[in-house]
Chain A
Amino acid sequence: MSEIEKGQVMTANRLRDGEVVFLTRSGEWNERIDEAVLALEPQATAALEARAKDDVKATLVTGPYLFDAERVGGKIRALHMRERIRTLGPTVRLDLGKQAEGTAGAFAFKEA
């Protein structure tokens, strides 16, 4: 599976605890990027935006936005350093954040 798909992932912080979350196919917010929807076309991103807007109103999350990501071998990875750090944790403390809690998804800094 060497096929690479590029698209966008909707992310936000959970309001009550600040945890970084991603919007999934079932319309839930999940802590793992692996569970996220990778929107490949404008229609899909618009749907994510609408959902995020509702969930901001419902006080589930705060500060939602889309970021660029790619799917490699079925697994999603952020394209830019900033979002990679959000999906994994600090690069200077591999013992903290999602990378330490087992919610980091398939790509870790150690392997990068």
Chain B
Amino acid sequence: MYRYDEFDHQFVRERTAQFRDQADRRLSGALTEDEFRPLRLMNGLYLQLHAYMLRVAIPYGTLSSRQMRQLAYIADKWDRGYGHFTTRQNIQYNWIKLEDTADILAALAEVEMHAIQTSGNCIRNVTTDHWAGAAADEISDPRPVGELLRQWSSLHPEFSYLPRKFKIAVTGAPNDRAAVKVHDIGLRLHKNDAGAIGWEVMVGGGQGRTPMIAVTVRDFLPEKELVAYIEAIMRVYNLYGRRDNKYKARIKILVHEIGAEKFKAEVEAEYARRPEQTTHVEEKELQRIAAYFAPPVFEKLSRFTPAFEEAKLLHPGFARWARNNLAAHRVDGYTIVNISLKPEGGIPGDATAEQMRLMADLAERYSHDELRVSHPQNIILPHVRKDDALAIWQALVPAELATANYGLAGDIIACPGMDYCSLATARSIPISQAISRKFADLDVQEKIGPVKINISGCINACGHHHVGHIGILGLDKKGEEFYQITLGGSSTESASIGSILGPGFAGHEVAGAIEKILTTYVKLRQPGEEFLYAYRRLGPQPFKEALYAAA
């Protein structure tokens, strides 16, 4: 894991002092709200429905036990004993006071964390594959690049007042778990025939009210050129991105309006204009950072471990959990543990301080002191010996953290929606709870198989409904909440935007509608065909009939 050196420490300390001063000036009236808002947003502080909300960055989703414990401490001391893990590898606290915020930032700085640029029209927290460094399919760990970009983008003087927010995601594996194609910039690692690695640079993906899949502007950019090249992209966007209409201000609209070819030409021209610049520093810096991400020392274990197999025979509950929540590790005898933050009827992504501490303890004991926060709002123990999985499961069960639904219908992504968010047009959490209760029977969930249900409480799409296999968007119709269903979205390497199925539903009808969709799928699927592929083969018609025919 990356560790701060004296510069990094000083940087977050000074940044905290700077915010303390800004907050004081706001409270004294020296700063107006209009002047203060961008400053607090760039430190992760929003004003939501009930109070301020603080969004803390978990860079590339990686946490140590100590850091997780500090998050729990903050939840207890300054919030209401819980936090909400988001789809972009952040944690949000919902009951924060402005006057406490600088102290919280100082507590974060103690454990090498911050809330810098988790909001605002700047470069946001860089996200990566949550299985980075552990996944069996990985070419190379993308986190060093994530850290390089975190540093480079932090308080970038040129790119802190962009037309709109800017999100970068990085993946080092062919199976995209970081949703890079729906980011402003997506980076994907490739290895060529000669064994060299290079980055595919994709630009202009995004969700919100105009969802778009990113276009590739470079197929194979040498790693040492990443920073300079991204700087060229940023400059073109900063100069030409629209500022007259905030709904048209994201880079995807620029790419779309001037065309991918013209955009690419602008970027290449800007890149070519850079004065003769060496990349030695970037290369050395990347090497320095990469050393921190050297894999932990794994034991030599055999792939097949009798204790693990026996445990599954002895405990059917464990067997089911192992089947659904463990993923292939690149080292024999090890596994990736996916802890579901989606208990039946629960609030997706929420964890109590106690749960955080338990997960921190387990990570310290069994996972080389490492945890990950995943894009689908779960927590991951990346490096676990298969033989320890039973003990972990046994510890998770009483804490309601052992729900065996990873990747299934109950593993729902949901934004906070109108229960917390001031921009919401409808609630999302109660919809997710209703669906999760409807599919409480894990036998049913397993029979249905992998499916991603994503819910957003407004068109901003923080719940990624556009790229859910089943997407649900909460809207307001004459003062009543109602919900639009889309099918066929995906955020992976074969990304697609879901299409609206038909007229929307009232809140209490949604779970039933989802059930009908999934029943139809089970009836019509071919052996082994997952929901998304069945939908792509069948099209919307059978699902439309199932939902609307009788009405």
Q: Chain A: residues with CB nearer than 8 A to chain B?
A: 13, 15-20, 56-59, 62-63, 79-82, 85-86, 89-93, 96-97
Contacts and interface: CB of A to CB of B under 8 A. Distances in A.
Interface string B405-448: 00000000000001110001001011001000000000000000
Contact of A58 (B29, B47, B419, B430): B29
Given A59-B28, A59-B29, 6 more contacts: A13-B47, A16-B97, A18-B50, A20-B49, A62-B47, A85-B418
A18 B430 contact: no
Contact of A81 (B27, B29, B51, B418): B418
Contacts of B429: 90, 92
B27 A16 contact: yes
B421 to A, nearest CB: 10
Given A13-B51, A16-B27, A85 B419 contact: yes
B509 interface: no
Contact of A86 (B49, B98, B427, B430): B49
B481 interface: yes
B49 A15 contact: no
B27 A15 contact: yes
Nearest to A88: B50
B52 A18 contact: yes
Task: Return the 6 tightest CB-CB contacts between A and B, nearest first.
Answer: A18-B51, A17-B97, A90-B419, A18-B52, A59-B29, A92-B429
B52 A81 contact: no
Interface in B77-99: 80, 95-99
B347 interface: yes
B47 A18 contact: yes
Contacts, number: 70
A92 B433 contact: yes
Interface string B17-37: 000000000111100010000
Nearest to A62: B33
A82 B29 contact: no
6 contacts: A15-B26, A17-B99, A18-B50, A56-B33, A62-B47, A63-B47
Contacts of B99: 16-17
Contact of B29 (A57, A63, A80): A57
A100 B51 CA distance: 15
B55 to A, nearest CB: 14
Interface of B: 26-29, 33, 47-52, 80, 95-99, 347, 418-420, 424, 427, 429-430, 433, 479, 481
A13 B96 CA distance: 12
Nearest to A91: B419
Nearest to A58: B29
Contact of B95 (A56, A81, A96): A96
Contacts of B433: 92
B418 A82 contact: yes
A33 B24 CA distance: 29
Contacts of A80: 479
Contacts of B430: 91-92
Given A16-B98, A18-B51, A20-B49, A92 B33 contact: no
B419 A93 contact: yes
Contacts of B27: 15-16, 59
Contacts of A63: 33, 47
Contacts of B28: 59
Contact of B51 (A17, A57, A58, A79): A17
B516 to A, nearest CB: 25
A104 B33 CA distance: 27
A96 B80 contact: yes
Contacts of A19: 51
B407 to A, nearest CB: 24
A15 B419 CA distance: 21
A17 B500 CA distance: 41
Contacts of B98: 15-18
A59 B23 CA distance: 12
A18 B51 CA distance: 4
Contact of A97 (B29, B33, B50, B481): B50
Contacts of B420: 90
B49 A85 contact: yes
Contacts of B52: 17-18
A17 B420 CA distance: 16
B343 to A, nearest CB: 13
A59 B26 contact: yes
A59 B99 CA distance: 13
Given A57-B29, A58-B29, A91-B430, A82 B47 contact: no
